[in-house]
Amino acid sequence: MTKHEYQVVARCTDPSHPGATTLIYTTHAASIQEATAKVQKLRIDKMTPDLYRITQVTQREPGCTCPDPGLGGKCTGEPWCAKVEEAAAASSVPE
């Protein structure tokens, strides 16, 4: 089973919360759904319930030259050969 690198973005659901408004995780997984589930189980579920919600998952393609992608899978001045699947991530995570 081939694993790919994914960037998972979670946003805070409470505007008055003093913590970070956006969390970014990187994980290796076989699919967008697996990447979402891994971050949900290992990171987000250990925080205050329902405080963060995954809003975006970006797959890094193997041939991409960007060494360290930023939010949304972009390097400075260079697109990050990414496949963004916001709907898949949002629908696979219970609210």
Find the distance separating the first CA and the last CA of the chain, reported in whole Å: 29
pLDDT tens per residue across all 95 residues of the chain: 788 888 899 999 999 999 889 998 989 999 999 999 999 998 898 888 889 999 988 887 666 666 665 555 556 545 445 544 333 344 444 44
* C-alpha closest to that of 66 among 44, 81, 53, 51: 81
Over its C-alpha atoms, the chain yields an Rg (Å, rounded) of: 13
Does pTM surpass 0.85?
no
- Cβ-Cβ contacts under 8 Å for 28 (sequence gap 6 or more): 3, 4, 5, 6
